Amino acid sequence: MSKKNILFPFCISLLISISLQAEKIDELNAKGLYHLNKGNYEKSLEAFQKVLQLDPNNSFAHYNLACSLSILLEKNYCENIDKIPEIYKHIQKAVKLKPSYKKKMLKDPDFTPLQKELKFYQIAGLNLANTQNLNLVLTKVHWFGPANGIYGPKDGIIFYSDGSFRYWKSELNEEGNIKKIYYKGNYNIKKSNIYLEFIELVPNFKKKKFKGILQKGKLKILGFPNAFSDDGSLCSA
């Protein structure tokens, strides 16, 4: 038998095998999406994991596997906090394979717990030199100062889309309970710089106006006692 005659049935068999695997992948992706929409997250995880065993570069499975894990994170943050690196791994893979997911992830409610973190927006490829993007990140991310032992962050800052902000400091009251004291102000952004002005002078501060910049994952405000990050140590002892 000639090589041509040998190769022909082999090629046909290979094409049939590839076609059947593609059908299996489509079936599993559909099954995973069905369970995701129905709230059966463990079953959706199982389906998307099987897809990735067959096709490690399946962007749809990577993205929706990340969605499933993120929803579980939101339901019980501290119990599932160790899943965060895996979620980011699948999001990064998904956007690398299919860049259009960068835009989709920004508005996807499945990623609500991650939309409070700076890394989420870095993966989405937002250019923070753009005033609109910088304002989006400032208002979405939760900013915390360093942790104060078991009592959590000692201060933090919340930015609002209307141009106002609230700076808070944690203080122990007489009963030994943590109480947050809030100080209001307004901010604006010019050329990647953030300008803040308090309505009233904050105790132990020497002025009301400050200049800040988002740099290397930290929000640094000149004249403040410390920098701020998205790490709130929410699950610390």
Q: Where are the domains of the chain?
A: 3-116, 136-221
Nearest-angstrom CA–CA distance, 100 and 123 = 12
Residues 197-230: pLDDT tens digits? Answer: 999 999 989 999 999 999 888 999 999 989 999 9
Residue 231, pLDDT above cutoff 90: no
Instruction: Look up tokens 């997911």; give the residue.
Output: 101
Percentage of the chain beyond pLDDT 90 is 73
CA end-to-end distance (rounded Å), the chain:
74
Q: Give the contacts of 189 (CB within 8 A, at least 6 positions apart).
A: 131, 134, 135, 138, 195
Residue 35 and residue 44 in contact, taking contact as beta carbons nearer than 8 Å: yes
Residues 3-33: pLDDT tens digits? Answer: 445 444 444 444 444 554 677 899 999 999 9
Residues 82-95: pLDDT tens digits? Answer: 999 999 999 999 99
Q: What's the CATH superfamily of 3-116?
A: Tetratricopeptide repeat domain (1.25.40.10)
Nearest-angstrom CA–CA distance, 65 and 94 = 10
Sorting pLDDT into bands at 50, 70 and 90, what band is 155? Answer: very high
Residues 114-142: pLDDT tens digits? Answer: 999 999 999 999 999 899 999 999 999 99
Residue 184, pLDDT above cutoff 60: yes
Beta bridge partners of 213: 193, 220
* Beta pairing, strands 193-198 & 178-190: antiparallel
Q: Give the contacts of 14 (CB within 8 A, at least 6 positions apart).
A: none
Q: Name the residue among 142, 182, 185 with its Cα closest to residue 164.
A: 185
Fold topology of 136-221: Lipocalin (2.40.128)
From the number of C-beta atoms within 10 Å of its C-beta (0-12, 13-18, 19+), residue 97 rates as middle
pLDDT average, residue stretch 177-181? 85
Q: Name the residue among 88, 75, 72, 95 with its Cα closest to residue 120.
A: 88
Percentage of the chain beyond pLDDT 70 is 88
Q: Name the residue among 194, 191, 169 with its Cα closest to residue 180.
A: 169
Q: Name the residue among 52, 23, 47 with its Cα closest to residue 36.
A: 47
Nearest-angstrom CA–CA distance, 226 and 147 = 11
- Cα distances (Å, whole numbers) of residue 208 to 12, 166, 168, 197, 222: 76, 13, 15, 5, 12
Beta bridge partners of 199: none
Q: Determine phi and psi for 184, rounding to 5 degrees.
A: -95, 155
Residues 41-58: pLDDT tens digits? Answer: 999 999 999 999 999 999
